A and B are shown apart, each in its own frame.
Chain A
Amino acid sequence: MRNRFDEQLFELNKKIIEMGAMCEEAIASAAKALTTGDVVLAGKVKADSNAIDQMEREIESCCMKLLLHQQPVARDLRLISAALKMITDMERIGDQAEDIAEIVTFLNGHTMEGMEVIGDMARETIQMVTSSVDAFVKKDVTLAEEVITRDDVVDDYFSRVKHGIINLITENSADGEFALDLLMISKYFERIGDHATNIAEWVIYSVTGTRKEV
């Protein structure tokens, strides 16, 4: 009985890692499509996002089954409840990657001239997502805390992008639609950073049993 429970927990762990990896890939593809203006790649992100949604439902039912059938306690219970929260954040990351990719298709190969800072922001955000998944894989509290502090960097990037866009508009060198698209994209990245932070917080909770004070 216990053996079976351990096996199911192991399987759950595996699935969360898989979902994390899927998110990493979705956002990386979206960022790549953005910097290269690759519309085909952007189209692929939609499929990735759907797969992530599917995975979320799978993990959800897996967690419910575990809760109902095994009545887990202590650490196991924390892992499962953290998993339930984490997949919501991961699913949001997938959706936002899809949103970014959708804007890229509208941009129609419009280049990011003067806005290279968005590329840096994307790299930083991808790093955050990767680190938060890594923290979950290794159950590494230090790494998770690092992710949480890194959120400030992404927030800082967002304000820089915002100022850049304001400059573009005042110089009249960008049309309004493009400027708004850029703002949306950077906002999405900023949100993804927040979701990565949430994931890191849930990792800390599942390991230590305490929620980080906000």
Chain B
Amino acid sequence: MTSKILKSILSVAVAVLLSSIIIITGVFYQYFGEVQENQLKDELSLAASATEQLGERYLEGLDSSRYRLTWVASDGTVLFDSHADATAMENHEDREEIKEALISGTGSSTRRSSTLTEQTIYEATRLDDGSVLRISVSRATALLLVLGMLQPITIVFVIAIVLSAWLAHRMAKRVVEPLNKLDLDKPMENDVYEELSPLLHRIHAQHMEIKSQMLILKQKQDEFDQITVNMKEALVLLDNTGRILSINPAARNLFHTGIDCIGEDFLTVERKQNMRLALEEAKVQGHSDFRDKKNSKEYQFDLSRIDSNGKNHGMVILAFDITERVNAEKHRQEFTANVSHELKTPLQSIIGSAELMENGIVKDEDVPRFIGRIRKEASRLVTLIDDIIRLSQMDEGIEMQYEDVSLFALSEEICDTLSDAAKMKNVSLKVTGDDGVINGVRRLLYEVVYNLCDNAIKYSNLGGSVKVSVVQKPDTVCLSVQDTGIGISPEHQDKIFERFYRVDKSHSKQSGGTGLGLSIVKHAVQYHHGKIIVDSELNKGTIISVLFST
């Protein structure tokens, strides 16, 4: 800034200086030249009249150092010269001023000396006798004058430089000072040069734009944070060198790390081989996934490369807890295997019996026994299928009709139905307690009580007893079925509600159950948001209580 101002000031100063020197020198030179010429003419006319009267005597008596007088005869021969020996001088006939004077009476000319620094002015006049008297004077040229002034000019020039430097510095400072003092955070509140207001307006507009964009960005970041902080899935973002950009709390828990791992390589957080291989694969193919056990849970890891405009920007790692899904899958597989097995057993028995009869191996008196077996197995199959249908209905979670059901009345009804079976094993069957009305699905509650009582009778020893009691409390109804049967050992108590689980591994047909009864009980109770409590001791008996909240 300063140097620019200095340059312009200096160039103006130099231009003014030079032009004024040229103009002044020119004007004065012209003026003084004219004055000198007139003086010369006057001198010449005086000298001419004196020469005409006194001749050479006058000229010789004249003592002139300033002027040079030359007397030339009409044929050009020099008769006298005040500064040189006349006889040694050449003929002056062809000199311009002499020629002019010989013709018109007066003549004048200006000639430059060989050094260019001097100029000689000649004036000539014809005397009466035809000879010519010439006067001449030397004067300095304009160039010499200027050269003579070189010293003062240089001084002025130096002063001009110093002055302009100082001025430029001050000016630059004064111009820049308000600019430096500009408050760019509040551009519209500045009071400076008018010329700056477009700039300030522009800055103000950009300020506003940046502010609004920052706000939008912050909102988006907040949204992103809110989502990632609250999501159950673990999410990690990596940059293209594998360093962690962002890691949500779920992921921090999963990998046992803190927030300070941001900026570190992901390898420092998880260095297992399958993760390394998956990262490599995702880098090449764009996506990869794998399953792994971590913190005793099963996780599915999904890795995706982030591409934008054909450039790799990093990686997203997403981990879901799939423990439940894996367990459910396992259960389903087990269930399918069990169902097929359970369905196959009676069918095999039916086919066997039928084949024996078909081939005529069975004696006539045995035929009814075989047919009886076929019927028994077929009806077993039907019960089994019924149970499965019931279970799958409950699995589907179809809405069923709710109504007020008295557990006491229901239990009595069931005991009536089961009285024959009980009599066969000589088991006493008794229902005691309160009315126990709850709001529920009658059909399901029937299944619960029926299956519990059925089991109690089935696993009772001969001559045992089964007691059903309904106890009503302020906000719960408890139905418990107590038997004096074989009991369930503690290690089996958790598992008896699993489908097809049998305490007796031989799956004996002796008891005639399908292995689904308690599973149906569990689902039905869950449907009513109830609770099952098993209290049993091996060879002493079992109490299974079901708690319903009213």
Interface residues of A (CB under 8 A from B): 10, 13-14, 17-18, 20-22, 24-25, 133, 137-138
Q: Which residues does chain B contribute within 8 Å of A24, judged by CB atoms?
A: 271
Cα-based distance from A137 to B256 in the complex (angstroms): 14
* B266 (CB) vs chain A CBs: closest residue: A14
Q: Which residues does chain B contribute within 8 Å of A17, judged by CB atoms?
A: 265, 267-268, 271
Q: Which residues does chain A contribute within 8 Å of B268, judged by CB atoms?
A: 17, 137-138
Cα-based distance from A138 to B267 in the complex (angstroms): 11
Cross-chain contact B272 with A25 (CB below 8 angstroms):
yes
Return B280 CB to nearest CB of chain A, in Å: 11
Cross-chain contact A14 with B265 (CB below 8 angstroms):
yes
Residue B83 is within 8 A (CB to CB) of chain A in the complex: no
* A21 (CB) vs chain B CBs: closest residue: B271
Q: Which residues does chain A contribute within 8 Å of B276, judged by CB atoms?
A: 18, 21
Cα-based distance from A14 to B244 in the complex (angstroms): 13
Q: Which residues does chain A contribute within 8 Å of B272, judged by CB atoms?
A: 21, 25
Residue B273 is within 8 A (CB to CB) of chain A in the complex: yes
User: Interface size bucket, B side?
Assistant: under 10
Cross-chain contact A21 with B273 (CB below 8 angstroms):
yes
Return A122 CB to nearest CB of chain B, in Å: 18
Return A130 CB to nearest CB of chain B, in Å: 10
Cross-chain contact A133 with B265 (CB below 8 angstroms):
no
Cα-based distance from A18 to B280 in the complex (angstroms): 13
Return B265 CB to nearest CB of chain A, in Å: 5
Q: Which residues does chain A contribute within 8 Å of B273, judged by CB atoms?
A: 21-22, 25
Q: Which residues does chain B contribute within 8 Å of A25, judged by CB atoms?
A: 272-273
* A25 (CB) vs chain B CBs: closest residue: B273
**Most chain A Cβ neighbours within 10 Å, of B242, B271, B272:** B271
**Most chain A Cβ neighbours within 10 Å, of B267, B272, B276:** B267
Cα-based distance from A117 to B272 in the complex (angstroms): 27
The 3 A-B pairs at the shortest CB distance, nearest first, are namely A21-B271, A137-B268, A17-B267
Cross-chain contact A10 with B265 (CB below 8 angstroms):
yes
User: What are 20 inter-chain pairs, A to B, with CB distance below 8 A?
Assistant: A13-B265, A14-B242, A14-B265, A14-B267, A17-B267, A18-B267, A18-B271, A18-B276, A20-B271, A21-B267, A21-B272, A21-B273, A21-B276, A22-B273, A24-B271, A25-B272, A25-B273, A133-B271, A137-B268, A137-B271
Q: Which residues does chain B contribute within 8 Å of A22, judged by CB atoms?
A: 273
Return B276 CB to nearest CB of chain A, in Å: 7
* B271 (CB) vs chain A CBs: closest residue: A21
Q: Which residues does chain A contribute within 8 Å of B271, judged by CB atoms?
A: 17-18, 20-21, 24, 133, 137
* B261 (CB) vs chain A CBs: closest residue: A138
| Contacts beyond the supplied A13-B265, A25-B273, A133-B271: 7 A-B pairs with Cβ under 8 Å | A14-B265, A17-B271, A21-B271, A21-B273, A24-B271, A25-B272, A137-B268
